[in-house]
Amino acid sequence: MVADEAAQRLAELRRALNYHLHRYHVLDAPEIADAEYDRLFDELVALEAEHPDLVTVDSPSQRVGGAPSDQFDKVTHEVAMLSLDKCTSAEELSDWIARCEGRLTDPGAMSFTCEPKIDGVAVALVYEQGVLAMAATRGDGQTGEDITSNVRTIKSVPLKLEADNLPPRFEVRGEVYIPTQDFHEFNERAVASGEKPMINPRNGAAGSLRQLDSRITASRPLTMFCYSLGWVDGGWQPETHSQVIEQFRQWGLRVNDRLEEVADLTACMAYVEALQEARPSLGYDIDGVVIKVNQLALQSELGNVTRKPRWAIAFKYPAEEATTQVENVEFQVGRTGSITPVARLEPVFVGGVTVSNATLHNMDEIARLGLHIGDRVMIRRAGDVIPQVVSVIESKRPEDAQPIALPSACPSCGSPIVQPEDEAVARCSASHNVCPAQRKEGLKHFASRLAMDIDGLGDKLVEQMVDEALITHAGDLYRLSVEQVAALERMGEKSAQNLIDALERSKATTLAKFIYALGIREVGEATAANLARHFGDLEQLMAADTDSLEQVDDVGPIVAGKIADFFADADNRRVVEDLVAQGVDWPQPEKKRDDNLLTGQTWVLTGTLERMTRNDAKAMLVALGAKVSGSVSAKTHQVVAGPGAGSKLAKATELDIPVMDEEAFIAFLEEHGVDTL
């Protein structure tokens, strides 16, 4: 590219990047996903490397983050807050390690730490004589914003550290974020009260920290992980990053328990892969792994370049946000007749997969988003969660964009669509006996892993069987023959026999699973377990009136009404009786179970359980009154550790919390009347 063309393209890139930095960091209203911004930034850096004479002091490549808001006092960082270089493959990580080794006089002394890269807002905390004196944002790396009054409202940030060995002054750096569950609960409350919900946890955290009224910040579910030492005055001279984090922990600062020390590339990649697998269950958003040289002396020897340290790198996972266009909106019918709008999207690669559909939940969500067919939208995909439309980019709306209207008739059976006044969800007015879509979805639910767990009976096969009129309700599944199944498309005799065998195995179940499999409205896993525990017998449950049902834990008038209505329906009773007649059965517990045995106790499951699933184990503990947590703390009463248990087991040992293996766990359950089949 000639100099004139390069200068023109660089000007375009700088304008675009500065615009999007402003949208993200100042207005809290992004119009492109992080991955798209990164692509523009990488193009800028590459082009400037080819034409170093065209680099300007105001280029986004010469600073980190966005400009501080004029609404806050400026803070000059005593040590610059730099951003991280990134990699996306083992080869790139290997190259980074090789570069580190090449710059060190003694590379053999080098090891690494790995920790989750929290998707939040970088913040620096200054403590003087143990008291929080100032908190500041990253800003442009050299100058940030004073947000002390807002950070003081975050309960996980200590206002005073109680310890004898504190340095006179030091700076702690970390990430402020919103946990996933807190984010969803906040948005539910916001929608219910007619307020604007957050776009996503990261933007919610950024916007919360930039509130001029700290009382608003205090109402937001913010928390913080501390991840590094910025600088220190005094005699404390730690040798490694892991020592810093452990000292933070001892001082009462909140740190991430998933930080691990590792020796080499192989161990780094093992951590990266394990964390990616655990990503959906972390309870907070991450976009990768931060890998650092552990030895602080080696960090100092490696030094920094203009905008990033040489001694740290971010291994980035596939992007989980992207922008695309809504090509159409279609309406799907669920097993209870719920009508769910689904956006058909221009295919886009996000979160490691190509996405062409996204859920829109209901018409209220469409109204909240202000969505039209043809709109440019931001979509988000986290782990295995169904992609969602999180915002509309109204500045990109085409002139021919079309409003979205709820259809008047069910797209599956043509029956009228109704919307009860007390519900946000519209429904097909027909029953599952009339509506093929409801019938299919109900059978898929019946066969699912948490219900009857029929191995090999996937969604496509269920749809094919219904379309071929082989099955009309769940009892028909147990009358299928090998010959009938083998005659279906893409099914051979061996596959058919495997399915018939799986159906036979599924007959041995538990009462809780059977109740859940029936697909009663408002009855999830926990409610099904409570019903099974309370009644202990199917006939008693079927005969119960609403007053009796309301005596069950977590069952109120609405849920009790749904259950009573289900069993009052003659067709539903016939299906239940048919299933029992076909041999579906569950053992009766030999001992009376003490449902309050573990009330008030917190248990943690870690590692791989070989004789049951994690969900089954959780349900059994809940049946005894326990709370099951995803993390170990001083409040944990018991840990159950299977093979592969890692940091949670180590934390339990450190805190002297009792640990039992799976065999001891099963013996404990059976001793107290819990069926573990």
Active site positions, annotated: 117
Helix pair angle (570-581, 557-568), 10° resolution: 70
**Percent composition of the chain: helix, strand, coil (DSSP 3-state, to 5):** 40, 20, 40
Q: Are 377 and 365 in contact (CB under 8 A)?
A: no
Query: What does the alpha-carbon distance between residue 35 and residue 458 come to, in Å, rounded to a whole number?
Result: 34
User: How far out from the chain centre does Cα 530 lie?
Assistant: 26
For 324, list phi and psi in degrees, rounded to 5: -160, -175
Q: Are 438 and 521 in contact (CB under 8 A)?
A: no
Q: Are 275 and 289 in contact (CB under 8 A)?
A: yes
Query: What does the alpha-carbon distance between residue 425 and residue 337 come to, in Å, rounded to a whole number?
Result: 10
Q: For residue 560, what is the enclosing H or E element?
A: helix 557-568
- Give the C-alpha distances (Å, rounded to integers) separating 407 from 82, 155, 419, 421, 476: 53, 47, 11, 17, 33
Q: How many residues does the chain have?
A: 677
Query: What does the alpha-carbon distance between residue 324 and residue 338 come to, in Å, rounded to a whole number?
Result: 27
Residues whose CB falls within 8 Å of the CB of residue 158, separated by 6 or more in sequence, listed in order: 132, 251, 252, 253
Torsion sign, CA atoms 229, 235, 238, 243? negative
Q: Where are the strands (E) in 213-297, listed by range?
A: 223-233, 260-262, 286-293
Q: What are 344-350's contacts with CB under 8 Å, separation 24+?
A: 345/377, 345/379, 348/322, 348/323, 348/324, 348/379, 349/318, 349/319, 349/322, 350/33, 350/35, 350/318, 350/319, 350/320, 350/321, 350/322, 350/379, 350/380, 350/381, 350/387
Query: What does the alpha-carbon distance between residue 154 and residue 221 come to, in Å, rounded to a whole number?
Result: 8
Q: Are 470 and 422 in contact (CB under 8 A)?
A: no
Lay out the sheet containing 131-137: strands in order across.
131-137, 121-128, 169-177, 223-233
Segments in 391-524 forming alpha helices (H): 436-447, 459-467, 474-477, 482-486, 493-506, 511-517
Q: Are 566 and 572 in contact (CB under 8 A)?
A: yes
Q: Are 9 and 40 in contact (CB under 8 A)?
A: no
Residues whose CB falls within 8 Å of the CB of residue 277, separated by 6 or more in sequence, listed in order: none
Tokens of 207: 């916007």
Q: For residue 628, what is the enclosing H or E element?
A: strand 627-629
Q: Are 326 and 359 in contact (CB under 8 A)?
A: no
Beta 659-660 vs 638-641: how paired, if at all? parallel
Three-state SS string over 354-374 comes to EEEEEECCCHHHHHHHCCCEC
Q: Are 141 and 61 in contact (CB under 8 A)?
A: no
List the beta bridge partners of residue 157.
none
Tokens of 182: 């807190």
